[in-house]
Amino acid sequence: MSSSPERLRPFFVGYLPIPKTLRGFAAFLSLALGLVGMLIAVGLSHGQNAPRTGVFEFGRESSLEGTIAVTPAPMLWTRSESGVATPVLLVGQWKFGADDVVSAFDGASVEIRGTRIMDGDMQLFEVAGSTDAVRPSPSPAPSAPTPEWTGGEHSVLRGEIIDPKCFFGVMKPGYGKVHKGCATRCISGGIPPMLWVRHATSHESFYLLVGPDDTPARDLSLPFIAEPVEIQGRVQTVEGAPFSIMRISDNAIRRIR
């Protein structure tokens, strides 16, 4: 212990003026923190997954005309000018299905007010919350019969169970583990579960999961939402529909990892 006294360094006391020699360092530190903060923000923000291109026309009410089918899930069959029928899945407000709102109109030609959800060919419609959101169609034409889902080939498919309302535009992302809680609430609340199958060629396909009672297989799906699963069932299609339905029974779903 024979060293000479250390040169006095500037001493900071919070309630006294900051020493001049520390001011420069404090200014440098502030600038450096700001710069590092900006760089981190750029990296993390730019590095987010690219969201799907679906659109939820929030705050913009529309109306649709068509024929309601309550089974296997609430949907509105609309017809193009060429006469091709296209199903529009109906969902309720927030995290609820549309069953209660449309069940009285099964097979009827109606006009529905609400908000459109679109992703490519897939169309959904969030029925407005007012009591008169669904009413008989003003068009004098009689309601057209809804197309039948045909086929029934036994298939084994791998994918993820999603809630279509969030997936196709309301939330981004509307899939994956982070969204699992929301998807669980949506499906528990009545939105029909769907299987999202990603193929090797960036192609994807969708299957509405339908239970033995010809209604959405909500209870069968709930334990497996947002997890990689393998599902066995019978697949049915309708020409022109952007999704198929998959009829499943108990124990049809299993985790694959």
CA distances from residue 65 to 80, 101, 124 in whole angstroms, order as listed: 11, 15, 13
Distance of closest approach, residue 16 Cβ to other proteins, in angstroms? 7
Is residue 129 near other proteins by the rule CB under 8 A?
Answer: no
Considering the rule CB under 8 A, would residue 178 count as an interface residue with other proteins? yes
Tell me: does residue 128 bind other proteins (CB under 8 A): no
Q: Report H helices in the chain.
A: 20-46, 99-102, 164-165, 180-188, 218-221
Cβ at position 93, least distance to other proteins in Å: 8
**Smallest distance from other proteins to CB 182, Å:** 4
Q: How far is the CB of 64 from other proteins (least distance, A)?
A: 23
| Shortest separation between residue 74's beta carbon and other proteins, angstroms | 17
For 118, the token pair is 């679109």
Q: How far is the CB of 234 from other proteins (least distance, A)?
A: 28
Please work out, in degrees rounded to the nearest 5, the angle formed at the alpha carbon of residue 235 by the alpha carbons of 225 and 148. Answer: 115
Candidates 68-76, 94-102, 233-241, 246-254: pick the segment binding other proteins (CB under 8 A): 94-102
User: For residue 35, which phi and psi values (nearest 5 degrees)?
Assistant: -65, -45
- β pairing state of 85-91 and 122-127: parallel
- Provide, rounded to whole angstroms, the least separation between the CB of residue 130 and other proteins: 17
Q: What is the DSSP string of 116-165?
A: EEEETTEEEEEE-SSTTSEEE-SS-SPPPPPPPPEEEEEEEEEEEEE-HH
* Cβ-Cβ contacts under 8 Å for 66 (sequence gap 6 or more): 76, 77, 78, 79, 88, 109, 110, 112
109 vs 184, beta carbon nearer other proteins: 184
Selected from 52, 113, 135, 234, the binder of other proteins by CB under 8 A is 52
25 interacts with other proteins by CB under 8 A: yes
Question: Quick check: 248 and 211 in contact, CB under 8 A?
Answer: yes
Instruction: Give, as ranges, the residues between 217 and 236 that touch other proteins (CB under 8 A).
Output: 227
158 binds other proteins (CB under 8 A): no
Q: Is 104 in the site for other proteins (CB under 8 A)?
A: no
Helix (H), strand (E) at residue 88:
strand 85-91
Nearer to other proteins, 154 or 257 (CB): 257
Distance (Å, whole) CA 132 – CA 124: 19
Per CB under 8 A, residues contacting other proteins are 1-6, 8-9, 11-16, 18, 22, 25-26, 29-30, 33-34, 37-38, 40-53, 56, 93-96, 171-173, 176-182, 184-186, 188-190, 227, 257
